[in-house]
Amino acid sequence: MPFTVAIDGPAAAGKGTISRALAQRFGFSYLDTGLLYRATGRKMLDGAQPVEAARALVPEDLDAPGLRSAEVAEAASQVAAIAEVRDALVAFQRRFARLGEGAVLDGRDIGTVICPEAEVKLFVTAAPETRARRRHAELQDGTSFEDVLADVHRRDARDMGRSDAPLRPADDAVQIDTTDLDIDAAVARAAEILNDALARG
């Protein structure tokens, strides 16, 4: 029986790092669903219509260069607010969630919309200033901390305020606040939750 782990949360909270670590530790498949939106956003920046780009997306598009840039991140947040884009990517994610023995998916609406029946749901969050510091350290492209923090606030407002699948914890999600946790402690907490769920069967 496939085992699905849904991990949601705002940008730079640490959900991707935690998700990859859990997938490796438990031998599960891993999908960074944000890359689906980043790849669609990249195509939009290249002149494609967002909905058409989302419908034509193939796994190889997730390996395109430059998907982690600030420009593509902003485009991803824009296309994610389009209901037709989201619809086009839902089936891809749901198929992935039931691959093999188990799968870890991270994003904005995995536990609430994509996989509401997931065996484990986590909501990973952190203070905006903490997330901005992390993202600023990742970028290393000359973008100022103030601009990164403003972008974090913009994306939070858009992701939480959209009418279609807003960012929020699922009712049965376990919240992990990483503001004062290092990555090892955050992964250990998440692994403990998974182990408990697997033990319950």
From the annotation, which residues make up the binding site? 9-17
Side by side, which strands form the sheet with 29-32? 29-32, 102-107, 3-8, 120-125, 174-177
**Burial class of residue 200 (count of CB atoms within 10 Å of its CB; 0-12, 13-18, 19+):** exposed
CA-based nearest residue to 17, from 193, 199, 143, 187: 187
Tell me the binding residues for ATP: 9-17
Measure the CA–CA gap between 178 and 138, rounded to whole angstroms: 17
Measure the CA–CA gap between 136 and 127, rounded to whole angstroms: 14
User: Alpha-carbon dihedral of residues 198, 118, 173, 131, nearest 10 degrees?
Assistant: 100
Tally of residues, the chain: 201
CB 155 within 8 A of CB 11: yes
